[in-house]
Amino acid sequence: MKKIIFAIATTFISANMLAQTKDTILFDGEKHFKNMQQLTFGGDNAECYFGFDNKHVVFQQTNAKNGVECDQIFYGTVPSRMGKPFKTKMVSTGDGRTTCSYLMPDGKHFLYASTHLGSKACPAVASREVWKKYVWSIYPDYEIFEATTKGKITKQLTNSPGYDAEAVVSPKGDKILFCSMRNGDLDLYTMHIDGSNVKQITNSLGYDGGAWFSPDGSKIVWRASRPKTQSEIAEYKMLLDTGLVMPTNMEIFVANADGSDAKQITNLGQANWAPNFTPDGKKIIFASNHEHKRGFPFNLYLINIDGTGLEKISRDGGFDAFPAFSPDGKKFIFSSNRNNKGTRDTNVFMCDWVE
């Protein structure tokens, strides 16, 4: 699940700390952002991604005040100009927990992962009090589905034991890239757009996930944990056997679209995740807390595809993550704690991208 680190921010940042953060939708020094708009207001809103037409998005939301007890998928039309409302509708079943939605090339269907076949109830969240550390549940009931933008499931694309989620579609519209635990570890796989011809493309021990294609479809970027010492490996395997993962130590990797020539491009420590390509394919944008040993804030950074030229580009004192561009490269969208008036709300923001 790409949303794994969001809970760190909401767990560790108290309402008082957030209240001390200046309420604004644009901070000094955010030179790459222009004409910022706040699209959602209230609840936890994340993983908002553009469709191929640059006009529509899908995202996940939890908002108990509105009866959405755990993440469900929403479909929305991007406002055509500043000040116009962001109109959305829920397009998942409303059962179970959902994540990682992505619009299909035809604009009439989308992908998402859901636990609803296992149970209609929201699955339990792993307790920090029990584990004494931040861990995330790898729900084995997650499978990947295709549905219409009216909410009707038309196809189940995965059906394997264990976790299947984090699906994105190649800009070419021919392949799906996703994370699966079908081999006993969390690795990346590709499949044809219809779910056929599944191929494993990573095989190192550790959590490989949250992957994206480059704008031309020739490369991929993802975040990965790489336990190395005996104690790290033992802890990783123990948690995995219990259906858990500890996502607090990850770095960014790039490779060819088939997984070949994989290279680690960050070595910053802590949690570096939610990577994506810039529109020209020459840089990676990602979220990180590496500047803060206490685990927050999370901000957005740019880095060249060869690992040089690190640049901090967002300045919120809480949480900035899930960066994504419109296919035409004109719009930028992300999730943030900014302007939440001291609450723990995370909302979706959109702006023009400035090089």
- Give the span between the Cα atoms of 164 and 141, in whole angstroms: 8
Mean pLDDT by 10 residues, the chain (355 residues): 48 41 89 98 98 98 96 97 94 98 98 98 86 87 98 97 97 98 97 97 98 98 98 96 93 98 98 97 98 92 98 97 98 98 96 96
What is the model's pLDDT at position 15? 40
What is the model's pLDDT at position 21? 54
Q: What is the pTM of this model?
A: 0.94
What is the model's pLDDT at position 209? 97
Q: Which CATH class is domain 2-353?
A: mainly beta
Residues 6+ apart with CB under 8 A from 39: 45, 48, 76, 79, 86, 333, 347, 348, 349, 350
What is the model's pLDDT at position 293? 87
List C-alpha distances in Å: 311 to 30, 32, 132, 288, 314.
Answer: 11, 11, 33, 12, 10
Bond from prior residue into 297 cis (ω within 30 degrees of 0): yes
- Give the span between the Cα atoms of 333 and 353, in whole angstroms: 9
What is the model's pLDDT at position 343? 94
What is the model's pLDDT at position 126? 84
What is the model's pLDDT at position 11? 43
Q: Which tokens hold the place of 49?
A: 């991604």
